[in-house]
Chain A
Amino acid sequence: MSQTEIAPMAAGNPDRLTGLKTFWHYFSVNRGAVIGLFVFILLVLAALFAPLLAPYAPDVQDKTAFLRPPAWQDGGSAQYLLGTDPVGRDILSRLLYGARFSLLIGAVVVTLALTGGITLGLLAGYFRGWVDVAIMRVMDLILAFPSLLLALVLVTILGPGLFNAMLAIALVLQPHFARLVRAAVMAEKSREYVVAAKVAGAGHLRLMLATILPNCLAPLIVQGTLSFSNAILEAAALGFLGLGAQPPTPEWGTMLATAREFILRAWWVVTFPGLAILITVLAINLVGDGLRDALDPKLRRS
């Protein structure tokens, strides 16, 4: 047999560059996705530079300014642009710091859920048999409970708090990744390139991680984006129910929970934290839609 020269995949490979270009081409066609990405970058910047941007520290109380309305309303002043909460803290500052928590929650939850889901999905799809049955039955079981209820119960076991809330949400979201990876692995496993790698002597680990996994990435990225926004929503809901981040943490859901009793007296205390959640989740979902269009022609929403 003649020796075949296989070109190494060097960095700066022209193929990869055009790949990125094609991706951006498809992504930028979707105007909403670009706007979403822009807003998301702003949020990341706000979170990173919160100490510089925020006029006050998130926990500083001004005893002369309880429930001060926003600047444009009667009784408001430029001192507190978005008004103050019932204990005289600046809402704008708390929102800026809150962006840190929401983005952190999204990132941690998605990382945990991805790691767990990829591992389990790879094992199930690659080995099939009883491994598959055992793993997928457990995933079905997790999906049998309404997600928020399961997260609530898990937090009850683990104890309330931001970190436990993230763990619980990651566990609840993880089956979606496992199912996705398993389906993709099963589809890819019998392809010729995998058989070729196997014949060439690649071991199980190499086959799973280096050969098959990179070809299942597109749907995972889309699902990851959607889970990012889901995680933020669920963590805010847990915070709202008093089981997520605990006051005085400026987490948006927790802020809503403490503001609840003032809804009919001070609309701004309730409105702004929720608006922050909505804008963040919406921006990420817009990016998710754009990613789906750009990465996966099969999933493309016409």
Chain B
Amino acid sequence: MLRYLLNKIALLIPTLVGITICAFAFVRLLPGDPILAMAGEHGVAPARYEELKQQFGFDLPIWEQYARYVGEVATGDFGVSISSKRPVIEEFKTLFPATLELSFFAMVFAMMLGIPAGIFAAVKRGSWFDQSLMGTALVGYSMPIFWWGLLLIIFFSGYLGWTPVNGRIDLQYFFKPITGFMTIDTLIYGKWAAFRSVLRHLVLPTIVLGTIPLAVIARQTRSAMLEVLSEDYVRTARAKGLSSARVIGVHALRNALIPVVTTIGLQVSTLLAGAILTETIFSWPGIGRWMVESISKRDYVVVQSGLLLIALIVMAVNLIVDVLYAVINPRIRAA
């Protein structure tokens, strides 16, 4: 197992180097002078320009610049945001929990609906439920989620007036974040009204972000389940006279879930891409909106480091999924 893990980590090293090269190259590939680009519309005085050039090391040979960049990143120095003048890593730390909380709820939503629906569709294969579920799943899979979010706002916020339109919590509630996860923080403080406000803010973004994973998981669960249900050991279990629930719930499901876990892992990248759109629509203060706003504000230090940090997250999650996969499926470890 340890060898498997080390092997996986070794394979990630080229990707890791590649990611830093991409982030490094980003600022240098921007059209025009990187310092002027980073300075934004205001421009800089010539003296300040020289100062900045030295500060960023643009006067050094390119490989020295890269070595310097990697050195900075490795020590946790991700630069200072041009627009807010705060260290990028600080901004990331305050915004990332918002994205994580939203993604967590979206994933739970997708799994809690998608897995049972997929199982049921497989068991009742060909029934009207199966057909309409697969139809709905394809619609969900084809959904432009930014439009889906706007539709939900029109209906639930505009027409029914049930849910708030943006943000994580009503402005009247204010408290110092402890974990950064508002659902947990409000409970720690014991503020029930605030907790309810947080949940009401979470509902629509969760549905929007969870829609595509839900469709993918439902489809994947169904086909994995169908495959497993035709296996010999399932027939044997049935022949032994086990109840249908036990055959499906224990013998079939445990094996069907192996490919589903992989699918769920692969959804992390989709989830982060979806977060960019979802957070923009709902003004959710997470890293997705942060990236979009930084691009429009031309805060390229933030974009550069955000790109790097997000890629690192995706990489780490993929590693965890690989390991998890090996834990539940011993056949992989041996290979």
Contacts and interface: CB of A to CB of B under 8 A. Distances in A.
Interface of A: 32, 137-138, 140-141, 143-149, 152-153, 156-157, 159, 229, 233, 236-237, 240-243, 253, 256, 260, 263-264, 267, 270-271, 273-275, 277-278, 281-282, 285-286, 289, 301-302
A256 to B, nearest CB: 6
B154 interface: yes
Given A141-B22, A157-B26, A285 B150 contact: no
A112 to B, nearest CB: 19
Contact of B270 (A146, A236, A267, A285): A146
A153 B292 CA distance: 10
B31 A159 contact: yes
Contacts of A267: 154, 158
Contacts of B203: none
B314 interface: yes
28 contacts: A137-B14, A137-B15, A138-B18, A140-B15, A140-B18, A141-B15, A143-B269, A144-B314, A146-B269, A146-B276, A147-B269, A147-B273, A152-B276, A153-B303, A156-B295, A157-B29, A157-B31, A233-B142, A237-B277, A241-B292, A243-B295, A263-B158, A264-B154, A270-B150, A270-B151, A274-B150, A274-B151, A278-B143
Given A141-B15, A271-B151, A233 B315 contact: no
Contacts of A271: 151, 154
Contact of B273 (A149, A270, A301): A149
Nearest to B230: A302
Nearest to B288: A149
Contacts of B314: 144-146
A146 B310 contact: yes
B227 interface: yes
Most buried by B among A138, A241, A243, A271: A241
Contacts of A146: 269-270, 272-273, 276, 310, 314
Nearest to B21: A141
Of the listed residues A138, A140, A141, A147, the one surrounded by the most CB atoms of chain B closer than 10 A to its CB is: A141
Contact of A144 (B19, B142, B148): B19
B139 interface: yes
B226 A302 contact: yes
Interface string B127-139: 0000000010011
Given A277-B144, A281-B142, A153 B15 contact: no
A237 B146 contact: yes
B280 A241 contact: yes
B192 interface: no
Contacts of A243: 295
Contacts of B151: 270-271, 274
A149 B30 contact: no
Nearest to A145: B311
A256 B146 contact: yes
B258 interface: no
Contacts of B30: 156-157
Looking at B15, B142, B303, B314, which has the most chain A CB atoms within 10 Å of its CB? B142
A147 B158 CA distance: 32
A29 to B, nearest CB: 14
* Interchain residue pairs A-B with the least CB separation, the first 4: A274-B147, A141-B18, A146-B273, A148-B273
B109 interface: no
Contacts of A253: 144, 146
B223 interface: yes
B223 A301 contact: yes
Interface in B172-227: 223, 226-227
A35 to B, nearest CB: 11
B291 A229 contact: no
B105 interface: no
A169 to B, nearest CB: 12
A153 B19 CA distance: 13
Contacts of B325: none
Interface in B293-321: 295-296, 303, 307, 310-311, 314-315
Contact of A149 (B146, B148, B157, B276): B276
Given A146-B269, A147-B269, A137 B295 contact: no
Contact of A153 (B144, B148, B307, B315): B307
Nearest to B229: A302
A241 B281 CA distance: 10
B111 interface: no
B291 A149 contact: yes
A141 B19 contact: yes
Nearest to B219: A301
